[in-house]
Structure 1
Amino acid sequence: MTDELRIEGLRCFGHHGVFDFERREGQVFVLDLVLGMDTRPAAASDDLHDTVDYGSLVGAVKSAVESDPVDLIETLAGRVADLCLTDDRVEWARVTVHKPEAPIDATFADVALTITRKREDASD
């Protein structure tokens, strides 16, 4: 059994993109995270040390998004998923990167990429 921890709508300001003006001016990126994990140990102990500290995770993700610019949201999403998987309790991570200000010459609501990554040592 896998439980899910969700963090939705995390707003970050980054300088990612393939165009010079994106790198120079930056833009808002919005992230949604879903972590697959077993929450029974934390529920039984009622101790923060037995679960993922989502406050610390949010700080680390925000820092990862707001530094080291990359060209593609695929690269950014992979970076964030890898970060989420550094906690051994996380079995898999689903990361959605929204780029609502993407440089598209059309009216649109959002551009978003969702990836799912699992621990390499996790069984299918």
Structure 2
Amino acid sequence: MSDVITLTGLRARGRHGVFDFEREQGQDFVVDVVLALNLAPAAISDDVGDTVHYGELADRLVEIITGEPVNLIETLADRLAAACLADPRVATATVTVHKPQAPIAHAFTDVAVTLTRGRGA
């Protein structure tokens, strides 16, 4: 499928991580999402009901980021992808979770996990 909706740089504070201080203090997580779906119906109708409402999707993703903590960003990314696939029009969702404040003892710019999930995957 060649049609995509991209949401980049969605930022929210979560309490994910394996260390107690990560759960207690929290940190920012940044999420990028690419959804593959057929956008022709929306292009023809000019009706938001015929596409993924990216504002509502962002609200749901922030709920997950700020919600129940998990140890790994891999788990967080999987939960976010499942939320994207809750809309049956979405064929695949590629989710990247950035953890720019990860507890690493060296100078770095970012740590990220990217996964792609699709129908039946």
* TM-score tier (shorter): over 0.9
What is the CA-CA distance between 1:27 and the residue it aligns to?
0.1
State the identity as a percent.
55
Aligned to 1:75: 75
* Cα distance in 2, alignment partners of residues 4 and 49 from structure 1: 16
What is the CA-CA distance between 1:13 and the residue it aligns to?
0.3
Q: What aligned pairs does 1:33-72 form with structure 2 within 5 A after superposition?
A: 33-72=33-72
Query: Structure 1 length as normaliser, TM-score?
Result: 0.96
What is the CA-CA distance between 1:120 and the residue it aligns to?
1.1
Counterpart residue identity of residue 4, structure 2: E
Aligned to 1:94: 94
Aligned to 1:20: 20
* Cα distance in 2, alignment partners of residues 119 and 53 from structure 1: 19
Counterpart residue identity of residue 97, structure 1: V
Aligned to 2:118: 118
SS in 2 for 1:23: helix
* Cα distance in 1, alignment partners of residues 9 and 55 from structure 2: 14
Considering only aligned residues, what root-mean-square deviation do their CA atoms show, in Å?
A: 0.9
**4+ runs of 1 displaced by more than 4 Å?**
none
Query: Structure 2 length as normaliser, TM-score?
Result: 0.98
Q: What runs of 5+ residues in structure 1 fail to find an aligned partner?
A: none
Q: What runs of 5+ residues in structure 2 fail to find an aligned partner?
A: none
What is the CA-CA distance between 1:62 and the residue it aligns to?
0.4
What is the CA-CA distance between 1:72 and the residue it aligns to?
0.2
